A and B are shown apart, each in its own frame.
Chain A
Amino acid sequence: DTGVSQDPRHKITKRGQNVTFRCDPISEHNRLYWYRQTLGQGPEFLTYFQNEAQLEKSRLLSDRFSAERPKGSFSTLEIQRTEQGDSAMYLCASSVRSQELNEKLFFGSGTQLSVL
C-alpha cells in the first residue's frame, strides 16, 4: 500500500455529465500529480501541484478539466461535459521535494472512468 488514496475507484457516467475525483496524497508529501492512462499505454502527465500552487498543466488538459488543491493536502480533478474520449484511468501520485534532484513518485490505485 503506497498510502495514496483515490476515490472513487470506478465511475460510470453519461456523456455530457460532470465528474469529480478525489486524491489524498501521502501526508508528508508536498507535491501531487495527476496522470491519465488509457488501456495498453503508459500514464501521461496532466498536471501537478506543489502545496496548493498548480505549477504546470499539460496540453492534454483541455478547458473542460480543472484541478484544485485548496489547502495543500487533498486534490480534486473535475471533468465537465464528459466525452467518450475521456474514458481512462486517472492516476494520482505524490512525492516530496527534497535535496535530491529527482523525485520518487508514489501512485494511487486510480479512478477508472467510463463515459457512455
Chain B
Amino acid sequence: GESVGLHLPTLSVQEGDNSIINCAYSNSASDYFIWYKQESGKGPQFIIDIRSNMDKRQGQRVTVLLNKTVKHLSLQIAATQPGDSAVYFCAENRDNQGGKLIFGQGTELSVKP
C-alpha cells in the first residue's frame, strides 16, 4: 500500500505487504530528517534518520528515501506487521535550529491481519 498526496491521514495495508508513507517537507534549508512512530498514548519513537547529503538509508525492515529536488521524503516498511500499526510522523531540522524539529501532520498506518 502507498499513501499519496500531502494530507492523506490514513493508510491501510495487509499484513506482510510493504508500506510506503510519504511526506513533503517545507524548508529547502532543512538538512536532517527523521521518521518517528507514535503509538496510542505514547510519545514519538525514533525509527530512522537521514541527512541531506544522502538520498537513501536503510534500517531493519525500514528504508527512508529523500528527494531534495521536490522536497519529498518517504518511509518504506517491508513485510508490514500488526505491531507496525501507529501514526508515523516525518520531521525536519536545520543545524542552526538544534533539536527544534518541525513535524508533519502524520499518517496513521493500519495493518490488517
In the complex formed, the residue of A with least CB distance to B9 is A40
Contact of A48 among B43, B95, B98 (CB under 8 A): B98
Give chain A residues whose Cβ lies under 8 Å from the Cβ of B49. Answer: 102, 104
- A101 near B43 with CB under 8 A, answer no
Of the four ranges (under 10, 10 to 19, 20 to 34, 35 or more), the interface on chain A belongs to 20 to 34
Interface residue? B5 (CB, 8 A) = no
Give chain A residues whose Cβ lies under 8 Å from the Cβ of B106. Answer: 40-42
Binds B, one of A12-20, A61-69, A70-78, A105-113: A105-113
Give chain B residues whose Cβ lies under 8 Å from the Cβ of A110. Answer: 42-43
Give chain A residues whose Cβ lies under 8 Å from the Cβ of B31. Answer: 101-102
> Within the complex, what minimum Cβ distance (angstroms) separates B89 from chain A?
5
A-B pair count, CB < 8 Å, reads: 71
**Among A31, A33, A103, A107, residue most surrounded by chain B Cβ atoms (within 10 Å):** A103
Give chain B residues whose Cβ lies under 8 Å from the Cβ of A4. Answer: 43
Contact of A105 among B42, B101, B105 (CB under 8 A): B101
- A107 near B99 with CB under 8 A, answer no
Given A41-B106, A42-B106, A33 and B43 contact (CB-CB distance below 8 Å) = no
- A101 near B95 with CB under 8 A, answer yes
Q: Which residues of B contact A (CB under 8 A)?
A: 9, 31-32, 34, 36, 41-46, 49, 51, 89, 91, 93, 95, 98-106
Give chain B residues whose Cβ lies under 8 Å from the Cβ of A103. Answer: 93, 98-99
8 intermolecular pairs with C-beta atoms under 8 Å apart: A4-B43, A44-B103, A45-B100, A93-B99, A103-B98, A105-B34, A105-B99, A110-B42
- A42 near B91 with CB under 8 A, answer yes
The 8 closest A-B pairs by CB, nearest first: A42-B103, A107-B43, A102-B32, A103-B99, A101-B95, A107-B44, A109-B43, A45-B100
